Structure 1
Amino acid sequence: MSAAIMGPAVSTFFNPQFSMPFSGAATPLVYALCLVAILITASGIMEMSSRLPSAGAFYTYVTRGIGPKSGFVTGGLMFVAYALLPPAEVGLVGSYLQSTLRDEFGIAVPWWAIGLVPAALMIFLALEGVQSSLRTALVLFTAEVVIVVTLAVIVVAHGGKHGLTLQPLSPSASPHGVGGLVTGFVFAALSFVGFEAAATLGEEVRKPARNVPKAIGLSVLFVGAIYVFCVWAEVVGVGVGAANKIDGTSTPWNDLAATYAPWAKLLVILAAVSSMFAVMVNSNTGVVRILHVMGREGMLPKLFAHVDPKRKTPTYAVLVQGIFSVVIALVVGAVAGGLGSPEGGSNVYGYLGFLLTLGILPVYVLTNIATMRFFRKEGGFRLVRHGVLPGLAILLMVGLLVGQVQQQTTAPYTWFPWLIAAWVAVVAAGAIWLGRHQPEKLAVAGAVMATGEAEEGHVVTHEAASGSVTTAP
């Protein structure tokens, strides 16, 4: 589950293009550094998941380690990050297919018209029930990973464009120095978002104290290795000089297939589209679930709690989220490049992807702070596992966020950290108000915003050393 939600295929096909305007040919190094940083960050999450197996995951960890108000803020950050992913994918699939149809077949179709097709299908599947489509998406996911790794191996076997070189793993390959590496890092971090997904199964798997942390750690290692290898193969395949010119509108994997494996070109196109659609469906399902439960718990209008008696799906939550995704994609695209140019669609993905990554990074910070506090308070504190590694993770993630404020010089990227800061301020104000006036709703609200889970009438009272959770009315 963790590996699938990271989306190795779609992340490999498209995310490096958003790092390369900044880190250029050094983007493989960015992904390698990001892998190390995410492993360090994941260590605190793994420790918490071994002691607090819960569907609430980050919300539960932060609430138990820091407090309910911080847990509420965590839920708010996760909600905004999840809600922005479906419209980001609408823009990406539209931009990619507009460029592909134009370059390969001479057909001119605007990205927004293309993006409406998978968006409509996403809404239809959500209304009908998506279990069968999710199973299909998992099969497609496996095929996509095989395709992208196979193509990368073919590129390397051919020796790349100018021979194999480790230059892309050197900081000197960055055309914009250290600042370019820092900025490229955020887009690389987007590729790892979702590694923590296995933590939400803490109440359902056998031996969660062992299996959940193991799943998280191995997923980061496995998918991260795919990223580093494939992005390195991409750079040597197109050439170091050409890699410095790649941007969000580029389709380098189409070019690699045409150059090194013409027979695989159609497979790459199909894998890219199916991968984007799978991510769209998965993320939409999560947001719809959250909206539905927020309606059921009285935090949103009751219409969101409505369930179709025949299909057993939350009709209004599906429609509102679907309309939101389309409107956000069209508005951002129109402002950020136009509805007729693939740049508009690619900027939808770039801008929203940047925003949601900046939203999820503070969640990792809060979780590692919670790790340090929880184990000191509850016992079992180990200096390296519960002190050094979480402390280093906090420094890495905070440093990354600060680096964005300092290094970004181009609008609208310069605005995005402040948008996230404003959202945190609004959510924090809501947490303070609920804590004073409706404290009983504070815990429920934070859990729902984070995962769409709420245990009515129950509170966690104790965790045994083995990681089991007992609840009481």
Structure 2
Amino acid sequence: MSNTQLRSNCLSFVELLAQAIALISPTMTAALIIPVMYGNTGEWSWLSYALGTVMLLFVSFNLNQFAKRSTSSGSMYSYICRGLGLTSGGLGGWSLIWAYLGISMAGITGFSIFAGKLLDMVGLSVPTVVLFAICAGAAFYLAWKNVQLSAMLMLVLEGVSMLLILVLSVIVLSEHHFAIDTAQFNVSKLPWSNVGLGVVVAIFSLVGFECATAFGDEAKNPLRNIPRAVIWSLIISGAFFVFVTYAMVIGTRGYHQTLDQIDAPLNVMAEMAHVGLLQIPLSVGAMVSFFALCLSCINAGSRVIFAMGRHGIFHGAIAETHSKNATPHVAVSIMAAIAFIVPTVLVFAHQVSLDIFNWAGTMAAFGFLVPYVLITLSAPFYLKKLGELRARDWVLCGCSLLLLLIPAIGSVYPVPPAPIKYFPYAYLAYLVIGGLWLSSLHKRKPDVSTSIRAELERTHAQFKLGEQ
């Protein structure tokens, strides 16, 4: 008989926080994304990160309406089902799979970029596809083996990398005697027309904060620890981005290239601050951080696939867990395989890793925005079903939706250059396929809606009984 139970009560608050921060991957933003932000909003780049953090905090407040009242594997998919019904929940889950796959590909390609830089330093050259295989293979093994081991490893890898970047930032500021950089607060130079696009970049940097909700079946004291992990991962990462962006703008000023033209800004910061010895550990930190990003996405995405398989949306085999490891090994295998195959095909099509990284991350951002909108809409309806809806909950929902319009519009207008301008259509085509699949599912299995509702209510009731 197949096993369909994940290992319960094994992830603490710190381990849940590690999963979320690893998926946000602050090191990734410092290593590759802040220059992109600077190209949009210049000296005011720190403000875009501050606005993006506040915006997603509003989304997290709506998300936590579910997280502090119910729990299950499957992240926002299960929550949206409870608030808006199974079709909306299915589309939300389908979209999350796209998002987690895209970010896992960004992790693999980012790993190859910095592994390649380190190998160049010692005069070695390894094919990009081999580096893809090393990252994807190691992430698969850890996700297949033990979720707790994965979480602790990600905590160490990302924590050390962030600490190195913070140390470098403090050194840079000390070189300037900790004087306030008035250029970054000059309102006359605030590029208002580009703030929306800057917030889009900030959202891309911060997506993944919700991934702690995917581990509802495995968390310790989930109704307390999951909401805390959601909020604190955003606050920690957002504050890190604002501070490091401010320091990086100062630390690269005067270099022969502007920040938006620099492909290794941390190394340039170290060079200009006369601490070139930090370049190697910073590159190592970036490399392992991208690996942690890939691992976190495989962990989170596999839980969404697992939950949808358990509900009959996908084949029942996807809902099986490993007899010894109690991990969703089939779903983990699917995530890891696709995350490796897609960038590998693009490399064989003569695309470079940095372009693949940018494309994968941009595509993934669309996959997060739709579930964020759906979870925001779901919250008041869920509270109404429980008889706990208040006027302020509608206000919170409305504010979140208005704020989400900024990245939604900013991602398509002004029209970006090719091939990015075609990405929204690719995502919409994927969403249509998911909608058609869900529609055919209801026709092929007319009783599926009843069984999913019953399963959601059963797991919810069992958890509540366990809490008592």
Q: Say whether the fold is shared (TM-score over 0.5).
A: yes
Structure 1 pair 39/322, CA: closer, same or farther in 2 (3 Å)? closer
Q: Structure 1 residues 252-261 or 375-384, which shifts more? A: 375-384
8 A contact 1:303–1:316 mirrored in 2: yes
Residue by residue, what CA displacement relative to the aligned partner does 1:173-228 show, whole Å, maximum 9, x if unpaired? 56xx4453322322321221221233345566566544433332233112211111
8 A contact 2:139–2:295 mirrored in 1: yes
Aligned length: 447
Residue number in structure 2 paired with 1:407: 414
Question: How far, CA to CA, are the matches of 2:68 and 2:150 in structure 1?
Answer: 31
SS at match of 1:405: coil
Residue number in structure 2 paired with 1:369: 377
Kindly indicate whether residue 395 of structure 2 is the aligned counterpart of residue 382 of structure 1: no
8 A contact 1:257–1:265 mirrored in 2: yes
Kindly indicate whether residue 284 of structure 2 is the aligned counterpart of residue 270 of structure 1: yes
SS at match of 1:181: helix
RMSD of aligned Cα (Å)? 3.5
Equivalent AA in structure 2 for residue 227 of structure 1: F
Question: Pick from 410, 429, 446: which aligns with 1:422?
Answer: 429
8 A contact 1:57–1:199 mirrored in 2: yes
Equivalent AA in structure 2 for residue 259 of structure 1: M
SS at match of 2:457: strand
Residue number in structure 2 paired with 1:393: 400
SS at match of 1:283: helix
Kindly indicate whether residue 271 of structure 2 is the aligned counterpart of residue 255 of structure 1: no
Residue number in structure 2 paired with 1:168: 184
Question: How far, CA to CA, are the matches of 1:266 and 1:68 in structure 2?
Answer: 49
8 A contact 1:24–1:244 mirrored in 2: no
8 A contact 2:252–2:269 mirrored in 1: yes
Shift of 1:280: 1.5
Equivalent AA in structure 2 for residue 224 of structure 1: G
* TM-score, length-scaled by structure 2: 0.82
Question: How far, CA to CA, are the matches of 2:282 and 2:30 in structure 1?
Answer: 12
SS at match of 1:20: helix
Residue number in structure 2 paired with 1:87: 105
Question: How far, CA to CA, are the matches of 1:28 and 1:354 in structure 2?
Answer: 20
Question: Pick from 149, 167, 170: which aligns with 1:150?
Answer: 167
Which sections of structure 2, spanning at least 5 residues, go unmatched?
Answer: 1-15
Aligned residue runs from structure 1 range 189-338, under 5 A: 189-202=203-216, 208-239=222-253, 244-247=258-261, 250-260=263-273, 261-288=275-302, 320-333=334-347, 338=350
8 A contact 1:24–1:243 mirrored in 2: no
Shift of 1:159: 1.4
Question: Pick from 22, 27, 31: which aligns with 1:13?
Answer: 31
Question: How far, CA to CA, are the matches of 1:281 and 1:227 in structure 2?
Answer: 22
Shift of 1:468: 6.7
Question: Pick from 121, 146, 153: which aligns with 2:138?
Answer: 121
8 A contact 2:252–2:272 mirrored in 1: no
Structure 1 pair 68/17, CA: closer, same or farther in 2 (3 Å)? same
Question: How far, CA to CA, are the matches of 2:318 and 2:455 in structure 1?
Answer: 23
Shift of 1:73: 0.6
Structure 1 pair 376/120, CA: closer, same or farther in 2 (3 Å)? closer
Question: How far, CA to CA, are the matches of 2:185 and 2:160 in structure 1?
Answer: 28
Which sections of structure 1, spanning at least 5 residues, go unmatched?
Answer: 446-454
Kindly indicate whether residue 455 of structure 2 is the aligned counterpart of residue 458 of structure 1: yes
Residue by residue, what CA displacement relative to the aligned partner does 1:302-329 show, whole Å, maximum 9, x if unpaired? 7767877787777765555444223211
